[in-house]
Amino acid sequence: MKPDIYQSPLLFPNIRNDDVPDSVKNLNEKVSPKFKVDDVQDSVKSLNEKLSAALLTINDKDDLVKQHTRVAEEAVAGWEQAEAEVASLKQLLETASKKNTSLEDQVSHLDDALKECVRQLRQAREEQENKIHETVAKKSKELESEKFELQHHIAELSKQLQATKLEATTVRVQRDLQEKLQIVEKENKDLKVELLALSKDLKILARERDLSNQAAETASKLHLESVKKITRVEAECLKLRHLTRRTSLTNDSRLITNSACMESQTDSQSDSGEHMLVDEMKNSDSWATALIAELDQFKNANNDTRNLVNNSVEIDLMDDFLEMEKLAALPEVDCVSSSFGAETDSDQGVSRDKSSKVKTEPLQCQVTDLHAKIEKIEGEKRELEMALADARVQLGTSCDALMVANNRLIDLQMQLDLANESKHAAFGEAERLNGERKDLALQLESRSSQVDELQLMVASLEKNVDRKVLELQLELVSVEAADLRKTVASLEEKIDAEITLSMQHKTNADLAEASKESLEAQLQSANTEIGKLNGIVQTLENEVRKETDSREELLKQIEAMKIESERSLSVVSTKESLEVQLQVANSEVAKLRGMVNALECDAANEKAYSSDLQMQLEAVEGIRKVLESELESSHQEVMRLKEKVSSLEARIKDQTSLLVEYTAKSEDAVSRKKAMEGQLEAANLEVTKLRNKVSLIQGKVEQEKLLSEEYEAKCRKLEAQVLRDSREAKLWRLTNSNGDLKVKQVALSHYYI
């Protein structure tokens, strides 16, 4: 800016009233006279005031100029200092850039070294992988060959085991067959002895039956002959009576006319008597033939001793037939008695009284004998009932024992099933553990080969390969070794568990064998009890047969007594008593038949039950044989497991020795690794120190860069300010020079005025 010369008092700071030059005065004097003195004074005053104000302003501006000069001097000093600092900073920048270049060179060298190390590591890894693949291929081939050899060996061993099994089974089968043959021979001998005894008993019974049949036939023949004789005697008696009556009737003259009638009557009576005798003979012959037929049927029934029910039916038919014969014989006797009742009541009464007395005495004796026999039969029947009750009680106990044995067999079967399941599970676990063991063995072999190769690689690459990679590999190897140790320990624990399980299976098998032996003993006792019961049943059957024989004999005697009582119609009271006794005997016989039928049913039920028991025993024996075969197979499998466990233990021992060697080698490797780790740690410390120094230098460089940038900005600002100050100073100088000229011009103008 250009200041107003006329208004700024700073332009004339040194002008005073006394210092006004003469030229100004002359100028003032030469002014036109038009101006008056007052105007001049006023103008002078105003000029003085203006000059004073201008002087004040000039003084102020001088002060400002001094201040500006001071500021400019200070700015120049600061700029010089800034230039010095900039120079120093430039030197620092140059040194830092040199250091950065050197550090960059070092970093590039380190990068190249790292790249070379990585390349060498890659080459080493590739070589190691190639070697590992080659070793794995070799090991796989070797393992395949060993596997093939082992399979061949296992096949041979399996063939040998099968041969030994066949030999053992053949030997056992031969022993079992020999034992069974001995048992069968003993049973055959016992059965032969029993058959001989039974044949003797049967022969004796047949002889007794033949004798009894012969006696019955002779008795029936004698009875028929006596009946024939009695009929003949009675016919002769009737003829004699008719003759006596004829002689008595000839004396009567009144009845001469009726003599012809009487003769005709007598002839008719005689003819009727003869016809009756013929009919009686025919009836007796028919009765005899019926008795013979019944005896034949009875013989056939006795020969067929297995069907006692059919015998009882035939006996009932015989009783019915005898009752029909009785009913058929009674009207004939009634006709004879009615035809001769009017004539011969007195004679017949006397003769029948005598004959009845003679015949009733042996009948009474026979009845007493029959009562005694019936009492004996009742006593035997009671004894048989007691024996049957005891047999039933024994059968119940044997059934309970068999049920208990069956329950125990079922429990044992369940236990065997559980044992088989646990055995199969143990076999599965053992196979799985064998597979794991094989895999671990392969892994151990591969790892051992890898460790050996790594040791060789470590020995060959200690100078070239970075130590960290070796540390990592060694750590991996140590970790794998620790894992393998853990797996081996777990395998040992599993094998111990398998051994304990096998011991438990052994104990379970021993317990099963003990329980089987106890059950076999119980079965043997049950068989003995069943044999005893069979003997008791046979004795009861024999006693029942004897009772049937005695009952048949009693029936024969009763039938004979019936025939004799029917033929002897002398005494009605004795006949009624005999009929009552016969009814009682029939009722007792019916009771005995019911008891015999019940006994036969019980015997049949006992036979069926005994057959069921035999079937159950056969089934139990089959189950026992199956269990024995299963136990034998389980024993064989346990032996196989023991052999496998022993082989596994041997292999584990070998592996433990290998592991010991491997641990020694690993310890050596660990010691080497520790030494290398110490060296690597020292190298790492140096590298970390260098890296820290580099990082610090980089930080300082960055700080210096920032400071240099700040200093550059400040220098630029200072340069701009210096340029501005120089420009302002030049302007001030120009303005000051222009002001001085104007002041001089004004002073000159005033002076001229």
Cβ-in-10-Å burial (0-12, 13-18, 19+) of 578 comes to: buried
Single-letter residue type at 324: M
Token representation of residue 506: 């052994």
174, two tokens = 């031969």
Predicted model pTM = 0.21
Tell me which H or E stretch contains 38.
helix 37-250
Convert the pLDDT of each residue in 595-615 to its tens digit: 667 666 766 776 676 667 667
CA gap 43, 24 in Å, rounded? 14
Q: What digits encode the pLDDT tens for the residues 350-363?
A: 454 555 555 566 66
Average pLDDT for residues 715-731, to the nearest whole number? 78
Closest-CA residue to 268 (of 211, 219, 340)? 340
Of 441, 521, 487, 504, the closest CA to residue 634 belongs to 504
pLDDT bin (cut points 50, 70, 90) of residue 399 is: low
* Cβ pair 314, 301 in contact under 8 A: yes
Query: Cβ(44)–Cβ(35) under 8 Å?
Result: no
Give the separation between CA 214 and CA 207, rounded to whole angstroms.
10
Token pair, residue 211, equals: 């004798």
Using CA atoms, how far apart are residues 458 and 481, in angstroms rounded to an integer? 17
> φ, ψ for residue 304 (rounded to 5)?
-90, 75
Q: pLDDT tens, 173-188?
A: 667 777 777 777 787 7
Answer yes or no: are the C-beta atoms of 575 and 562 closer than 8 Å. no
Give the pLDDT of residue 210. Answer: 77
Q: How far apart are CA 352 and CA 234, in angstroms?
A: 11
Residues near 136 by beta carbon (within 8 Å), at least 6 away in sequence:
446
User: CA–CA distance from 377 to each of 63, 374, 540, 600, 706 (Å)?
Assistant: 178, 5, 14, 17, 144
pLDDT at 700: 76
pLDDT for the residue numbered 355:
53
* pLDDT above 70: residue 290: no
Output DSSP code: residue 7: T
Ramachandran region of residue 126, left (φ > 0), alpha (ψ -120 to 50) or beta? alpha
Q: How far apart are CA 276 and CA 283, in angstroms?
A: 10
Is residue 288 over pLDDT 50? no
Task: Determine the straight-line distance between the first and last CA of the chain, rounded to whole angstroms.
Answer: 30
Q: Coil, helix or strand for 152? A: helix
509 or 345: which carries more pLDDT confidence? 509
**pLDDT above 90: percentage of residues in the chain:** 0
Give the pLDDT of residue 488.
Answer: 61
SS3 462: coil
Mean pLDDT to the nearest integer, 118-134: 78
More confident residue, 85 or 541: 85
Confidence tier at 148 by pLDDT (50, 70, 90): confident
Residue-level pLDDT at 314: 42
Quote the CA–CA distance of 562 and 578 in Å, as a whole number. 8
- Flag whether pLDDT at 525 surpasses 50: yes
pLDDT score at 505 = 64
In 10 A of CB 462, how many CB atoms?
A: 12
- Which run of H or E residues covers position 369? helix 345-461
- C-alpha 694/C-alpha 105 separation (Å) is 12
Distances (CA, A) of 18 to 14, 24, 27, 274: 11, 12, 16, 238
For residue 225, is pLDDT > 50? yes
For helices 37-250 and 259-303, the axis angle rounded to 10 degrees is 140
Query: Of 750, 748, 749, 722, whose CA–CA distance to 75 is shortest?
Result: 722
Burial label for 366, CB within 10 Å (0-12, 13-18, 19+), is: middle
pLDDT at position 302, please? Answer: 46
Structure tokens at 270: 């005689």
Does residue 382 have a pLDDT over 50? Answer: yes
Burial class (CB in 10 A: 0-12, 13-18, 19+), 620: buried
Token pair listed for 313? 């039916």
Q: Which two tokens stand for residue 544?
A: 């029942």
Instruction: Return the residue matching tokens 């460790």.
Output: 451
Question: How far is residue 66's CA from residue 60's CA, in Å, rounded to a whole number?
Answer: 10
- From the number of C-beta atoms within 10 Å of its C-beta (0-12, 13-18, 19+), residue 558 rates as buried
How far CA 16 is from CA of 11, 35, 41, 391, 605, in Å, comes to 13, 24, 16, 178, 176
Report in angstroms the alpha-carbon separations of 191 from 32, 172, 620: 200, 27, 24
Closest by CA to 10, choosing from 63, 80, 45, 59, is 59
Sequence-distant (≥ 6) Cβ neighbours of residue 427 within 8 angstroms:
637, 641
Tell me the domain boundaries of the chain.
Answer: 425-517+654-682
pLDDT of 649: 67
- Rounded to whole angstroms, how far apart are CA atoms 606 and 533? 9
Q: What are the backbone dihedrals phi and psi of residue 568, each rounded to the nearest 5 degrees, phi first?
A: -95, 95
Contact present, 746 and 8 (Cβ < 8 Å): no
Query: What's the burial of 679, exposed, middle or buried (CB within 10 Å: 0-12/13-18/19+)?
Result: exposed
Structure token pair of residue 237:
């008696």
SS3 assignment, position 113: helix
Residue type, 220: S
Supply the pLDDT for residue 6.
Answer: 37
Highest mean pLDDT, choosing among 95-109, 437-451, 511-525: 95-109
Over residues 250-263, mean pLDDT:
52
Residue with the bigger pLDDT between 312 and 504: it is 504
| Pick from 661, 140, 146, 652: nearest CA to 451 | 661
Task: Answer yes or no: are the C-beta atoms of 434 and 645 closer than 8 Å.
Answer: no
Structural contact between residues 458 and 672, judged by C-beta atoms closer than 8 angstroms: yes
Burial class (CB in 10 A: 0-12, 13-18, 19+), 87: exposed
CA distance 88 to 94: 10
Cα→Cα distances 748→11, 53, 81, 686, 745, Å:
14, 19, 47, 89, 5
